[in-house]
Structure 1
Amino acid sequence: MPVRTLVELLHIAAGLMATALIVAVATWSYPLGRETIRLVGWATAVAVVAMGVGPLRRAWTADRGRQR
């Protein structure tokens, strides 16, 4: 797999893992707001992926141009 694309995928994965960790700690620490915290966590995960799409496409294009 091309290096730039792999780095961008790792950034997205790290963002999703950080989101999951924060949501897990928040739901543990405030059980009354568990459903709301999870909803916000899912929205944040979608935002992390959405923000990663542009850089991922640019990295993929750069890696494809480098191979040719």
Structure 2
Amino acid sequence: MTRTRTELFFMASGLLVAYLLTRVCAWSYPLGAHVVWWCGAAAMVATVLMGLGPLRRAWRADMADA
């Protein structure tokens, strides 16, 4: 299960970074904060969607090793 945990860690790290960057950008541009949050949400969704393939492959590899 180490590969699966590693992929989950990277996915969670990407989400955390996207959230923090979005928060800082929204703080620095209050007039467009609403748009910045929508763009940040799209980046977070993209992070999850792009991580699903590697996560599935890691899970299958871990199941094959078990």
Where on the TM-score scale, by shorter chain, does this alignment land: which range? over 0.9
Shift of 1:16: 0.2
Alignment TM-score, normalising by the size of structure 1: 0.96
Q: Match for residue 51 of structure 2?
A: 52
What is the aligned length?
Answer: 66
Q: Match for residue 63 of structure 1?
A: 62
Ranges of 4+ aligned residues in structure 1 off by more than 2 Å: none
Q: Match for residue 30 of structure 2?
A: 31
Q: Residues of 2 paired with 1:27 and 1:43: CA distance?
A: 14
Alignment TM-score, normalising by the size of structure 2: 0.99
Question: What fraction of aligned residue pairs are identical, expressed as a percent?
Answer: 47
Q: What runs of 5+ residues in structure 1 fail to find an aligned partner?
A: none
Q: What runs of 5+ residues in structure 2 fail to find an aligned partner?
A: none
